[in-house]
């Protein structure tokens, strides 16, 4: 039985979407990161990085959303597209670009826009520029392909979907105007039943919503309280 360590934020949401698309039986284990549950010794034994998502499958333990998506794709043989070495190289390249570029830059741009103490113009400009540059790349790719891998709906689209809400949070309507091809795919994916089930997971547990001192200390461990 799979145990899925979850919080309703972008990286766990990608994995939620795979599990729902593949209709895999799994146990949802909430990790309330605003209450510091990612830092307990029990959770660190599963994910030494102290972030969500993580997943156990029998005696197998995984962390990092891209690793989990690849594992689930290989285990089930689903949502990994064409199996040729060339197609798999392409899939892994875009999966990693989203996991190591688009996601972190978007996350940092949101951090410096909404949470970091001001003034922070240099950091804000750098991360916002890099986030938009990555979204531009994705938008250009989707201008000539239905899905990120062409005709196949894959884990790359799931990974992208997890971060699409970041466009809203960072740029609002202007973001959707700037990235129309991403918007087209996001709207299409949002109409899928599995997406609706993945979104519904957030209602199964009362996650802390306030960004109070406990949440800031849990999420921004680099000294928010003493900055």
Ligand X SMILES: N[C@@H](CCC(=O)N[C@@H](CS)C(=O)NCC(=O)O)C(=O)O
The binding site for ligand X (CB under 6 A) comprises: 9-11, 33, 38, 51-53, 64-66, 99, 219
First to last CA, the chain: 44
To ligand X, the closest distance from the beta carbon of 207 in angstroms equals 12
- Our CB check for ligand X shows the closer of 33 and 128 to be 33
CB of 13 to ligand X, least distance (A): 8
Q: Which residue has the tokens 């826009």?
A: 113
C-alpha closest to that of 106 among 48, 54, 179, 33:
179
Cα gap 64→134, rounded to integer Å:
20
Please tell me the distance from the alpha carbon of residue 222 to that of residue 227, in angstroms, as a whole number: 9
Query: Which residues have CB under 8 Å from 207's CB, separation 6+?
Result: 7, 8, 30, 32, 34
Supply 141's token pair. 């790719």
CA-based nearest residue to 35, from 219, 202, 204, 224:
219
CB of 85 to ligand X, least distance (A): 25
Which residue is listed with tokens 């994705």?
A: 138
Smallest separation (angstroms) from ligand X to the CB of 176: 21
**Residue 163 and residue 166: Cα distance in Å, rounded?**
5
Q: Residue 107 Cβ, how far from ligand X at the closest point, in Å?
A: 7
CB of 51 to ligand X, least distance (A): 3
Please say which residue, 38 or 154, places its beta carbon nearer to ligand X.
Answer: 38
Closest approach of ligand X to the CB of residue 55, in Å: 10
Dihedral over Cα of 207, 210, 211, 214: its sign? negative
Closest CA to 207 of 13, 65, 57, 47: 13
């Amino acid at each position: 039985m799979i145990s899925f360590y979850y919080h309703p934020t972008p990286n766990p949401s990608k994995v939620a979407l795979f599990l729902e698309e593949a209709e895999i039986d799994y146990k949802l284990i909430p990790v309330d990161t605003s209450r510091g549950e990612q830092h307990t010794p029990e959770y660190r034994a599963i994910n030494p990085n102290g972030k969500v998502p993580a997943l156990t499958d029998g005696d197998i333990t995984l962390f990092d959303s891209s690793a989990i998506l690849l594992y689930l794709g290989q285990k089930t043989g689903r949502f990994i597209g064409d199996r040729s070495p060339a197609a798999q190289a392409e899939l892994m390249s875009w999966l990693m670009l989203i996991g190591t570029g688009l996601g972190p830059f978007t996350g940092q741009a949101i951090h410096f826009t909404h949470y970091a103490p001001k003034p922070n113009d240099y950091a804000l400009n750098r991360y916002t520029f890099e986030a938009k540059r990555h979204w531009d790349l994705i938008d250009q790719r989707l201008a000539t392909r239905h899905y990120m891998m062409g005709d196949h709906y894959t884990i790359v689209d799931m990974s992208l979907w997890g971060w699409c809400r970041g466009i809203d949070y960072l740029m609002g309507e202007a973001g959707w105007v700037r990235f129309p091809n991403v918007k087209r795919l996001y709207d299409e994916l949002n109409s899928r039943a599995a997406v609706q089930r993945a979104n519904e997971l957030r209602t199964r547990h009362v996650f802390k919503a306030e960004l109070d001192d406990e949440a800031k200390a849990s999420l921004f461990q680099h000294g928010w309280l003493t900055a």
